[in-house]
Amino acid sequence: MKRLSRAGVPQQVPLVLVASAIVLAALTLIALVAPWIMPHDPGEFISNDVFAAPTRNALLGTDYLGRDLLSRLIASAPLTLGMAFAATMLAHVVGDSLGLYAALRGGWVDAVVSRMVDVILSLPKIIVGLVVLAALGPSVAVIIGICAVVYAAGVFRVARALGNDIVRQDYIVVAQARGEGLGWLLFAEILPQVAAPLASDFAIRMSFAVLFISSLSFLGLGVQPPMADWGGLVRENLDGLQAGSLAAIYPAAAIAITSIALNLLVDSLSERSIQGPAT
Amino acid sequence: MSAPLLDIRGLSIVSEGSGRVIIDNISLSLERGEVLALIGASGSGKTTLALTALGHLRPGLRHRAGAVDLDGENMMEADQAHLRELRGRKVAYVAQSAAAAFNPRMRLEDQVVELDRLSGRESEARAILKARSTFDELGLPRPTELGHRFPHEVSGGQLQRFMIAMGLQQSPPLLVCDEPTSALDVTTQVEVLHILKEAIRNHHTAALFVSHDLAVVAQIATRIAVLRGGQLVEVGPTEQILFAPTQPYTRELIASSRGFNAGSIVSRTRSPETRALLSVRGVKVSYDKPGKGQPVNIALHEASFELQRGEVVAFIGESGSGKSTLARAVAGLHAPFAGKVLLDGRELAGSILDRDKADRHRIQIVFQSADTSLNPRHTVGRTLRRVLDFFGDVPPTERSDRIRELLAMVQLPAAYVSRRPNQLSGGEKQRVNLARALAAQPDVLICDEITSALDNLVAASILQLVDSLRETLGLGVVFVSHDLAAVAQLADQVMVLKNGKVVEQGSTASVLARPVHAYTRLLKASVPELRTTWLTEAASEQATLRDALSPERSPA
Amino acid sequence: MLQFLLRRLPASILLIWLVSVLIFVGCEVLPGDVAQVALGQSATAENVRALRTEFGLDRPALTRYADWLQGIVFHADWGRSITTRTPVSAMLAERLSNTLLLAGVTTLIAVPLALLIGLTMAIRSGSNYDRAASVAILGLAATPEFLIGTIAVLVFAVKLHWLPSTSYLSEGSGLTATARAILLPVGTLVIIATAQIARMTRAIVGNVLALPYIEMARLKGLAGARVVLVHALRNAIGPLANVIALNVAYLVSGVVVVETIFAYPGLARLMADSVQARDLPVVQACAMIFCATYIMLIVAADIIAYACDPKSGSQGRSA
């Protein structure tokens, strides 16, 4: 009799997995307690020197107005990560339900929504962002909304593909033959199967969202001063590069670290599940 | 005496993660020109053992002890480069599913001669000539033209012959055949088996023949090794194993492979009920989209039968015969475009969603593939409970008891309630499928090839279960199968289908004992029997019957 | 093949047409009076009215749409820019050639490089090279473009003074001058595109390598390189073509950030600036080009996938 132990299989936990998990946990923590761990007020002018080098008082130096870069960096964390998280959550709620529904229903509903999604996907995201932001003005809500719509299309494709694989299985036929309704089929039969791959997609898509929102801010169409997310911080301190200041690099690096950690986490998790126990 | 061609000594192989023993201290040897069969149920380790002759371990397996010597080469210790050199030249592999083994985007001929060409021992032209003469030898028509095709452009039987040709291309002394005929239709199996036996003899190859079917193996093997749970149960010459086995497990295997003879055909007295439980009249099915006028592609031409309570009607045929189509039409999964299905005299709607909820539970269907029939995330208990909750016939307080009852009915321990499908064997999964069908309290149970994916031993127990359920619950059973032996034991009436048409129909006794139609006789002649001489007789009988069916038919 | 094209092309043309409607409607709902924005705060009401008449902005939307579409399809006339009063086609031509230069050079370098990296990783799958390269390209693919770009500027332009920090391209500049001007933006884009494509190549080929006929190829005795390059690759062409098409489309339309960092005169920046200035004819024209490019690239990828699949068209014949 075959009995595959689910949790007890000893596998080496790769370094990458642990490292990325720690980084993400740290970032989440910083975002949550930001107001309490900042050394200075992010708006406070602590020095007359702009783009000053790191000192005891300002561990990363000062920005283009003489404010503490570290504090501004920490203060922007909740905004950056929060917006990306909210947008991705919204994208998944919409994309997953539409995608799974389209897979289950098929027919003309599937055809119509798929064509609409194709049209959305054919528009370059950043251009759509620019146009809509120019129209409606840059506010946190609009940014999150654009990001959500643009990525919902991609999520739709993924959810639909996953759903299609499952819908063909006999146990779905059995349930449909019983006369089970849409709700049961979607939530009890299909969702448990697709939860894991969709969660992976969530993490990766959140990394896209962070990059996208930061790019919009970098172009000047993201959150407006005095609020700033990391992309905005890069933009304001860009001139410092000419003078050799690293002020613009730190927020860009923060974005990179978040994005890389999310991707590495998903990659190492999916590798683990591939090399699962063999018969 | 010269050293054996293949010498396995004290071989042990374990699973890397869990440490479970897959091969437990097995020693076997194979002489040149011999055919050694490895027989056992799935999970017995026979494929793993056979692959070691190629020096190959599937990912996740580790070699713990023992040696495998092929013509003096230590296969377990050899490095990859050396193994590559030996493969094809010293030992070749013939896989079970040729469709999965061929690259769908490369022409067949190219794949067959690929290794020969690359090894530099033959020029391309000579390699192709060699291949084509093998194609001819294996009975492939128009070898040049056929070899130019892609895998999806030839039939299953032809593909399997290409597979064999690929293995024989470099005339290796050892051919490892992994259930090479299991995936084929019954009638094709005979042809391919016959061809394989001749080819092995003509090329003076030795062969390791892996199978779960003792009758098939009896035709081709000189020696048989019985495996169970990674251990060698018994090994000896074919005649001895078949007629004088020493181990109880071997005896069980033989009992379950007994093929069928006229004596095993069931005959029950028909009850004098006037109204049939299930009445199917003039049903025709097509997979064309519903539109105006008559459909063009007809999957099932007119079919009719009547079924009483406690009776079994069987649909027999090969792939594409329409038997599953008919079963699904009765179940309401695919509405027929003509004809009626009546339950207790009342007509049912074509599609199950149009039927009354009260009627929906009365006909239940169990599918072939246990893997896709159960939601991998649901426990057995949840699966069964949902059916009870949905139909609501059993009061909520009694549902847990009912679940226990259902599990007992299918002979599974009550503790299985908390198990998930990945913790069940193939046979156990099918039992759960049956329990799920029974939970709906059906009057008619449709079994769509439910034993086709199971080993003979397990299949036999499932068949017994279905029979006892029929008896105790008074179910009407529709049994779809390609396995004549199973049908003979179980069914009261039989319908033989071919290419969507019913070619013969009647009581099991008359149809199977004295078949009229050539196709029925062909099917009957294709059931392997436990005699070593059966194959040659069957091959020639098949040839005659095929000619009777259609004179210009090319081999499958 | 012909049947496939006959089915796909009308669908694609329909899609492009739908996109044109979407773009037009999108621009209609942009708030802010176009003429007002173009002339600035100090414009008099008269001037604004004059501008509106000049550009036909007082006519009903449907008429304007019909004219615009007709102009493009029959006369290759994309209208006139409100800001510069010059024909949009001229602006497009210049910027388009710059964009094509950037995208073309990047593609020529990145695609072969990415395929090389991805395939060698697949051939040596599981090895240290594979694992290390995996982490590296993943890291690069996840890094924001502006980080790579700003570091490039910092290192090569500011600190080392090897290359100009902004790209000044002019007509008729020699090969060397052009090369120096575009080296940094191309380098940045090559890093990004190579990482993306290599990552997907490794994943796609990895998936194919898990299929049963690959195990069979190995059991036949074929070596790793041949298994990947001859057996696996031809089955991966469909998805690979798709990935490359997506990346090339990105190089044409999505590189706003890189163009901004290096002040490169490409189409994406033209679009961004025009959006700010509400220069609608230019916005519409750029949007159409981007979408049409994306759709054409995807169709091209599908055609390649179709051509490489022997199952296309026929359902398979049995003997």
Cβ-based neighbours of B219, under 8 Å, separated by 6 or more = B193, B197, B528, B532, B534, B535
CB nearest B101 (choices: C212, C221, C230): C212
Instruction: Give yes or no for C212 touching B (CB within 8 A).
Output: yes
| Secondary structure (DSSP) of chain C | -HHHHHHHHHHHHHHHHHHHHHHHHHHHT--S-HHHHHH-TT--HHHHHHHHHHTTTTS-HHHHHHHHHHHHHHH----B-TTT-SBHHHHHHHHHHHHHHHHHHHHHHHHHHHHHHHHHHHHTTTSHHHHHHHHHHHHHHHS-HHHHHHHHIIIIIIIS--S-SS----TT--HHHHHHHHHHHHHHHHHHHHHHHHHHHHHHHHHHHTSHHHHHHHHHT--HHHIIIIIIHHHHHHHHHHHHHHHHHHHHHSTHHHHHHTT---HHHHHHHHHHTT-HHHHHHHHHHHHHHHHHHHHHHHHHHHHT-TTSSS-----
Tell me: the pLDDT tens digits for A199-212?
Answer: 989 999 999 999 99
Q: Residue A278: enclosing H or E segment and its boundaries?
A: none
Residue numbers in C near A15 (CB within 8 A): none
Query: Shortest CB distance from B423 goes to which of A4, A10, A276?
Result: A4
Nearest partner of B393 among B323, B438, B440, judged by Cα: B440
Q: Give the pLDDT of residue A278.
A: 30
Chain A residue numbers with beta carbons less than 8 Å from the beta carbon of C154 are 241, 244, 249
B153 chain-C contacts, CB cut-off 8 A: 310, 314, 316-318
Which among C89, C268, C243 is positioned nearest to A123, based on CA atoms? C268
Q: For the residues B537-541, what does the mean pLDDT come to?
A: 85
Q: What value, to the nearest 5°, has the Cα angle with vertex B215 and ends B210 and B217?
A: 30
Q: From the CA of B185, how many Å to the nearest CA of chain C?
A: 15
Residue B273: closest CA among B314, B306, B304: B306
In the block, which residue shows the tokens 């020029």?
B123
CB atoms within 10 A of CB A220: 17
The residue among C267, C255, C294 whose CA lies nearest residue C144 is C255
With CB atoms and an 8 Å threshold, state whether A170 touches B425.
Answer: no
The domain B268-277+309-333+350-552 having CATH identifier 3.40.50.2300: the answer here is no
Instruction: Tell me how close the Cα of B328 comes to any Cα of chain C, in angstroms.
Output: 24
From first to last of its 319 residues, what are the pLDDT tens digits of chain C? 788 888 888 888 888 888 888 878 777 776 666 666 666 666 777 877 777 777 777 777 788 788 888 887 887 778 888 778 888 888 888 888 889 999 999 999 999 999 999 999 998 888 889 989 988 998 898 888 888 888 888 788 777 777 766 766 665 667 777 777 788 889 999 999 999 999 999 989 988 988 889 988 988 888 888 888 989 999 999 899 999 998 999 898 888 888 888 888 888 888 888 877 778 788 888 888 888 888 889 889 988 988 888 877 654 333 3
Q: What is the pLDDT of residues B52-70, one digit of tens each?
A: 999 998 888 999 999 999 9
Report yes or no: C318 at the B interface, CB cutoff 8 Å. Answer: yes
List Cβ neighbours of B415 (8 Å cut-off, separation of 6 or more).
none
Q: Which two tokens mark C137?
A: 């390209």
- Give CA–CA dist A105/A189, Å, rounded: 15
B9 touches B63 (CB < 8 A): no
Could you tell me which chains touch chain A, where touching means 3 or more CB pairs under 8 A?
A: B, C
Q: Which residue is closest to C22 within chain A, CA to CA?
A: A119
* Interface contact flag, B56 C219, Cβ < 8 Å: yes
- The DSSP secondary structure of B94-148, one letter per residue, reads E-S-HHHHS-TTS-HHHHHHHHHHHTTSS-HHHHHHHHHHHHHHTT-SSHHHHHT
Question: Does the beta-carbon distance from B153 to C314 stay under 8 Å?
Answer: yes
- Interface of B to A at Cβ within 8 Å reads 15-18, 22, 43, 58-61, 331-333, 352-353, 357, 360-361, 365, 367, 369, 372-378, 386-387, 390-391, 422-425, 436, 440
Q: Is pLDDT at A7 greater than 50 in this prediction?
A: no
Instruction: Tell me the torsion sign for CA atoms B31, B33, B34, B38.
Output: positive
Reduced to 3 states (helix: H, G, I; strand: E, B; else coil), residue B375 is coil
Helices C233-253 & C88-123 angle (0-180, nearest 10): 150
The minimal CB distance from C142 to the residues A214, A244, A260 is found for: A260
Strand order in the sheet with B493-498: B363-366, B444-448, B476-481, B312-316, B493-498, B501-507
Calculate the CA C293 to chain-centre distance.
Answer: 7
Residues of A near C (Cβ–Cβ under 8 Å) read 16, 115, 118-119, 122-127, 130-131, 134-136, 207, 211, 214-215, 218-219, 231, 234, 238, 241-242, 244, 248-249, 252-253, 255-256, 259-260, 262-264, 267
- Cβ of B102 within 8 Å of Cβ of C213? The answer is yes
CA A222 to chain centre: 16
* H-run or E-run covering B246: none
Phi, psi of B150 (to 5 degrees): -95, 160
At residue B173, the pLDDT reads 92
- Angle among Cα B404, B405, B409 to the nearest 5 degrees reads 120
Put the strands of the sheet holding B338-343 in their side by side order: B298-307, B278-286, B338-343, B346-347
Is residue A193 exposed (0-12), middle (13-18) or buried (19+ Cβ within 10 Å)? middle
Residue of A nearest to C292 (CA): A122
Helix (H, G, I), strand (E, B) or coil at A59: coil
CB contact under 8 A, C147 and A249: yes
Q: How many CB atoms lie within 10 A of CB B77?
A: 11
Question: What's residue A47's pLDDT?
Answer: 79
| Domain A2-50+58-275 in this protein, CATH class | mainly alpha
Number of neighbours of residue B549 by Cβ within 10 angstroms: 14
Predicted local confidence at residue C170, as pLDDT? 62
B190 pLDDT above the threshold of 70: yes
Contact C180, C164 (CB under 8 A): yes
Q: Would you say B427 and B461 are in contact if contact means Cβ atoms under 8 Å apart?
A: yes
SS (H, E, C) C238-258: HHHHHHHHHHHHHHHHCCHHH
Question: Per-residue b/e over B334-373, b at no fewer than 16 CB within 10 Å?
Answer: bbbbbbebbbeeeebebebeebeeebbbbbbbbbbbbbbb
Facing residue for C142 by CB, picked from A16, A123, A259? A259
Q: How far apart are the CA of B424 and the nearest CA of chain A, in angstroms? A: 7
Confidence of residue A242 (pLDDT cuts 50, 70, 90): confident
Put simply, whether C210 touches B (Cβ < 8 Å) is no
Q: Are the beta carbons of A113 and A100 closer than 8 angstroms?
A: no
Q: Between β-strands B61-70 and B6-15, what pairing exists: parallel, antiparallel or unpaired?
A: antiparallel
Stretch 7-46 of chain C: residues touching chain A, C-beta under 8 Å: 15, 18-19, 22, 26-27, 29-31
Percent of chain A with pLDDT over 90: 34
Distance CA A33, CA A77 (A): 10
User: Cα–Cα distance between B471 and B482 in angstroms, integer?
Assistant: 23
Candidates A207, A253, A264; nearest CB to C147: A253
Cα–Cα dist C24/C38, whole Å = 18
The pLDDT score that the predictor gives to residue C173 is 63
**How far from the centroid of its chain's Cα atoms is residue B439's Cα?**
28
A153-180, pLDDT tens digit by residue? 999 999 999 998 888 888 998 898 888 8
The pLDDT assigned to A272 comes to 63
C window 222-281, beta carbon within 8 A of B: 222-223, 226, 230-231, 234-235
Query: pLDDT digit string (tens) for A35-73?
Result: 888 888 888 887 777 888 888 877 888 888 888 888 889
Say if the Cβ atoms of C260 and A219 lie within 8 Å. Answer: yes
ipTM over 0.95: no
**Cα–Cα dist B140/B149, whole Å:** 13
Q: For chain B, what's the residue count?
A: 556
Chain A contact set for C150 (CB, 8 A): 234, 238, 241, 248-249, 252
Of C19, C158, C287, Cβ closest to residue A241:
C158
Cβ-contact C140, C191 below 8 angstroms: yes
Secondary element (H or E) of residue A75: helix A69-105
CB of C282 within 8 Å of a chain A CB? The answer is: no
Q: In a mutagenesis test of the A interface, which of C12, C21, C147, C251 is the best target, namely the one with the most A β-carbons within 10 Å?
A: C147
Which SS3 state, helix, strand or coil, does residue A224 take?
coil
Contact call for B369 and A170, based on CB within 8 A: yes
Range with the largest mean pLDDT of A80-94, B3-17, C211-225, C258-272: A80-94
CA distance C52 to C35: 6
Lowest-pLDDT choice from B208-212, B252-256, C105-109: B252-256
Per-residue model confidence (pLDDT) at position B298: 86
B316 or C66, higher pLDDT: B316
β partners of residue B26 = B11
Q: Which member of A5, A179, A193 has the closest CB to residue B360?
A: A179
- Give the domain ranges of chain A: 2-50+58-275
Cβ atoms of B514 and B504 within 8 Å: the answer is no
Smallest CA–CA distance from C231 into chain B, residue: B103
From CA B504, how far away is CA B151, in angstroms rounded? 34
Retrieve residue A186's tokens.
């979607």
Contact assignment for B153 to C226 by CB distance below 8 Å: no
Q: What angle do CA B481, B487, B490 make, to 5 degrees?
A: 125
Report the neighbours of B using a cutoff of 3 or more CB pairs below 8 angstroms: A, C
Per-residue pLDDT band for A269 (boundaries 50, 70, 90) equals confident
Of B92, B115, B554, the CB nearest to C222: B115
Asked if the model's pLDDT at residue A126 lies above 60, the reply is yes
Separation CA C234–CA C109 (nearest Å): 22
A12 confidence band (pLDDT: 50, 70, 90):
low
| CA triple B124-B129-B133, angle to 5 deg | 150
Cα separation of C264 and C310, whole Å? 44
CA nearest to B178, candidates B213, B140, B149: B213
Is B423 in Cβ contact with A3 (below 8 Å)? yes
**Cβ contacts of C90 within 8 Å, gap of 6 or more:** none
Is the confidence at residue A9, as pLDDT, over 70?
Answer: no
Residue A276 · residue C210 · CB < 8 Å: no
Q: Which of A113-122, B254-263, B522-531, B543-552 has the lowest mean pLDDT?
A: B254-263
